[in-house]
Amino acid sequence: MINNLGNTMFDNKTILITGGTGSFGKKYVKTLLERYNPKKIIIFSRDELKQFEMQQEFNQPCMRYFIGDVRDKDRLRRAMRGVNYVIHAAALKQVPAAEYNPMECIKTNINGAENVIDAALDNDVEKVIALSTDKAANPINLYGATKLASDKLFVAANNIAGGNRTTFSVVRYGNVVCSRGSVVPIFQKFIEQGQDHIPITHEEMTRFWISLQQGVDFVLTNFERMLGGEIFVPKIPSIRITDLAKAMAPDLPVKIIGIRPGEKLHEIMCPSDLCFDTYEFDDHFVIAPGIKFSSRCNDFDTNALNEQGKKVEVGFEYNSLSNPHFLTIEEIDAFNIQALI
């Protein structure tokens, strides 16, 4: 992935991050402050305690903290005044919770996406990137279905924009190593509690493997790459969950507890049904829009950085099981998981 050091794209710019107190938001802010000289960084989220705690770590003069919910369009409109770039990271993400509370998930993930789009257009924001998930590809759970709907909204927003300069794109990747809700902190908790086993939902389960910093760097670079309407997918390795357990707790046996409601055995990030719209680049894939734009670019084999891509083969699917790059137990162990928790 491209190194952003020396780039000035975010210098003297105002950036707003919805759900900015989460794992991604904190790492994104840290990276922006280390590499750029932003005019303002606005954290937009609904939890005042998390904002208070984040302010203790990030209290630079450029930092702003807005209490607000993406369900509240008026609050979003006010927060986005003068904003150049938006990263939409706010979502209800827990799969079982979404299954049991479907309307709440829809209100945040779908209605909230519409509100972000409207507020960005009303304020003539330059660029918006929405964070997606592997679960939006061929979804089998409500969370994935709401994120698929959200992805479709952000892609179509480029047509809604008309002559407005605002462009919208999506970044999709799987579970982030050591982020809140990922399996790594759960395993670590069992280890620290002195449990006599590691619980695993299925012995054949696989997942894509990406660090928080890799995810942040990918989003930063895609602000430069984006034409508007693409779904960006990084090329990353896969792991077997049993190998992760062995790397973290080599002396503990695993116990199979069964797949949770709405959980997949393997992750898919580029479905085979979309192979006709999928392009392969050196370090990522792009899923081009299925719709045609009336006033935007419709050619996605070359991005704004002049990187060249090519159509994937018919039937291609980017799947954590068929991924040619799997990490070994030794490679997982060398990742220094403990330093990331």
Ranges of each domain in the chain: 14-174+210-236+272-315
Bridge partners (DSSP) of residue 170 are: 130, 231
Q: Does domain 14-174+210-236+272-315 have CATH number 3.40.50.720?
A: yes
**Model confidence pLDDT, tens digit, residues 93-139:** 988 899 999 999 999 999 999 999 999 999 999 999 999 999 999 99
How far is Cα 29 from Cα 20, in angstroms, rounded to an integer? 8
pLDDT of 179: 67
Q: 135, 235, 246, 311: which one is catalytic?
A: 135
Smallest CA-to-CA distance from 98 within 72, 130, 129, 136 is with 136
Helices 112-122, 142-160: crossing angle, 10 deg rounding: 20
pLDDT of 82: 98
Tell me how far apart the terminal alpha carbons of the chain are, to the nearest angstrom: 23
How far is Cα 265 from Cα 271, in angstroms, rounded to an integer? 15
**Model confidence pLDDT, tens digit, residues 259-311:** 887 788 999 999 999 999 999 999 999 999 999 998 888 999 999 999 999 99
* Other Cβ atoms closer than 10 A to 187: 23
Q: Which residues of the chain have pLDDT under 70?
A: 1-6, 178-181, 336-341
pLDDT of 261: 78
Answer whether 201's CB lies under 8 Å from 242's CB. Answer: no
Write the CA distances from 169 to 2, 146, 188, 214, 229, integer angstroms: 18, 17, 35, 18, 5
The residue with tokens 């159509």 is 311
Answer whether 264's CB lies under 8 Å from 201's CB. Answer: no
Q: What is the pTM of this model?
A: 0.93
Smallest CA-to-CA distance from 135 within 107, 175, 105 is with 175
pLDDT of 336: 61
Answer whether 198's CB lies under 8 Å from 249's CB. Answer: yes
Whether 135 sits among the annotated catalytic residues: the reply is yes
* Other Cβ atoms closer than 10 A to 26: 20
pLDDT of 129: 98
pLDDT of 2: 44
